[in-house]
Structure 1
Amino acid sequence: MPRTDRLFRLLQALRMLPAPVTAARLAEETGVSIRSLYRDIDSLRAAGACIEGERGYGYRLIEDGALPPQIFDRIEIEALVLGLAEVRHMGDPALARAADAVLAKVAATLPDASQQHLLHAVSRVRRSEMRFAPSVGMAAIREGCWREEAVTIRYADKDERITERTIWPLAIVYLDRKLVVLAWCCLRAGYRMFRADRIAAAEAAGASFRPKRVTLLRTYLDALAQEGSAGAGA
């Protein structure tokens, strides 16, 4: 692992793990020896990170020099905590991990008083079950959206007939009770909305549709809005 990546990983571990974090735990997290871990701690300190602690005790990130200080008022902190908690209950493991990482990064940039507000926020999310069942292929579809690359999916229609399609994924939309993918379907040569729970498999197709995603998505959303307006008028 390149040294820069290792230091970033160590910094992220210090942000996320309960403090104080032992050198052994940090070495395990970053995949280095204890001796290398001590050198990496010294490197982060030299780069501006304020890390409290010492060998045999453990380490705590007091001030993160890699991130600018953030100023949020109490209601903004409540909104942040509540929103990220909701993301954790979406049912997408990758997004849940990302929500934890975002919260840790934000906390590392806050003054002490604001950190306490964040850690002991008034607003909470409690759900007996995930809002959406974990879906097959979301990682490939999300990557396809980011990279503007086609994705091949195996899709079951309402009669459970399986077809293989190549799509240009445009957006992932979280509706009240279902997760859908907005896409251009190459098989049907038109816009389609695919239910995530009916996608049996998804993988990159290796073909780019850049730079069409933003224009295609805007056109599709406009069409959906017009359909909604027509339905409301009827």
Structure 2
Amino acid sequence: MPKTDRLFRLLHLIRGLTPPVTAARLAASMEVSERTIYRDIDALRAAGARIEGEAGLGYTMTEDPALPPQTFSQLEIEALVLGLSEVQQRGDTGLADAAADALVKIIATLSERQQRQAAHAINMVHRMHDPSVPPVDMSVLREAAWAEEAVDIVYVDRQMRESARRIFPLGISYLEHTVMVLAWCCLREDFRMFIAAHIRSATRTRQSFRPRRVPLLRDYIARLEARAPYTGPIKPVD
């Protein structure tokens, strides 16, 4: 791992682990020697990070130069904790991990008083049943939507009929009990909502649909809103 990446990783661990965090724990998490941890902490201190502690006692981050200070009201802190906790509950592994990392970074920018408020937030997310995890790698669909690149999918509809489709992924919608992929279906030449749990495979192509994603998504949302209060797909996937 390049030294710069290692230092960012070390900062993230010191922010997120319960202080004081020992060099042994940091070394085990990063799969490096304790001597490397000591050198890297010296490098972070030289760069302006205020890290208290020493070998044998553990380390605590008191000021982080990598993140600007933030000011939130207590209600805003509650909203951030609640929202990111919901993503951790509902999202796929990649999205859930990103939400956890984002919360650690946000909390690291808060004052000591606000960090205590975040640690003891009264709003929380709990589900009696874990949401179903789509069999498809959702990162493929996310990254294709970001890149405005077509995706070839194998899809099983409600009648258990399997078909191959090329779609333009426009967005991902997290409904109460399922995850839907909003897309333009090249086979039907129309908008469709695909149930993520019914997508058996997804493969990115090199076909770009840039810059069509934004106007397509805008038209799709407008059509959905025109059909309100009906919340089902514009048309069944066929």
The amino acid across from 1:148 in the alignment is E
Matched, 1:68 2:95: no
Counterpart CA distance in 2 for 1:213 and 1:165 is 18
Question: Does the C-alpha gap of structure 1 residues 178 and 111 become closer, same or farther in structure 2, counting only changes over 3 Å?
Answer: same
Contact 1:107 1:115 in 2 (8 A): yes
Counterpart CA distance in 1 for 2:103 and 2:47 is 23
Counterpart CA distance in 2 for 1:99 and 1:79 is 13
SS of residue paired to 2:228: helix
Q: In terms of mean alpha carbon deviation, does 78-87 or 107-116 score higher? A: 78-87
Counterpart CA distance in 1 for 2:8 and 2:85 is 25
Counterpart CA distance in 2 for 1:230 and 1:64 is 48
CA shift, 1:33, in A, is: 2.4
Question: Which position in structure 2 is the counterpart of 1:9?
Answer: 9
CA shift, 1:230, in A, is: 9.1
Identity of matched residues, %: 53
1:194-209 equivalences in 2 (<5 Å):
194-209=194-209
Question: Which position in structure 2 is the counterpart of 1:159?
Answer: 159
Structure 1 unaligned blocks of 5 or more: none
Question: Which position in structure 1 is the counterpart of 2:105?
Answer: 105
CA shift, 1:28, in A, is: 2.6
1:172-197 deviation digits (Å, cap 9, x = unpaired): 00122221000111222221110111
1:89-119 deviation digits (Å, cap 9, x = unpaired): 1152222211211111011111110100000
Counterpart CA distance in 2 for 1:173 and 1:223 is 15
The amino acid across from 1:171 in the alignment is G
Structure 2 unaligned blocks of 5 or more: 232-238
Contact 1:10 1:29 in 2 (8 A): no
Question: Which position in structure 1 is the counterpart of 2:193?
Answer: 193
Question: Which position in structure 2 is the counterpart of 1:133?
Answer: 132
Counterpart CA distance in 2 for 1:13 and 1:212 is 40
Counterpart CA distance in 2 for 1:18 and 1:230 is 47
TM-score by length of 2: 0.91
1:124-175 deviation digits (Å, cap 9, x = unpaired): 2222222x31112211111111121111111001111111111111100012
Counterpart CA distance in 1 for 2:18 and 2:3 is 24
Moved beyond 6 Å, runs of 4+: none
Q: Aligned-pair RMSD on alpha carbons?
A: 1.7
SS of residue paired to 2:51: strand
SS of residue paired to 2:152: strand
CA shift, 1:60, in A, is: 1.6
Counterpart CA distance in 2 for 1:205 and 1:89 is 30
Question: Which position in structure 2 is the counterpart of 1:120?
Answer: 120
Contact 1:151 1:168 in 2 (8 A): yes
TM-score by length of 1: 0.92
Matched, 1:217 2:217: yes
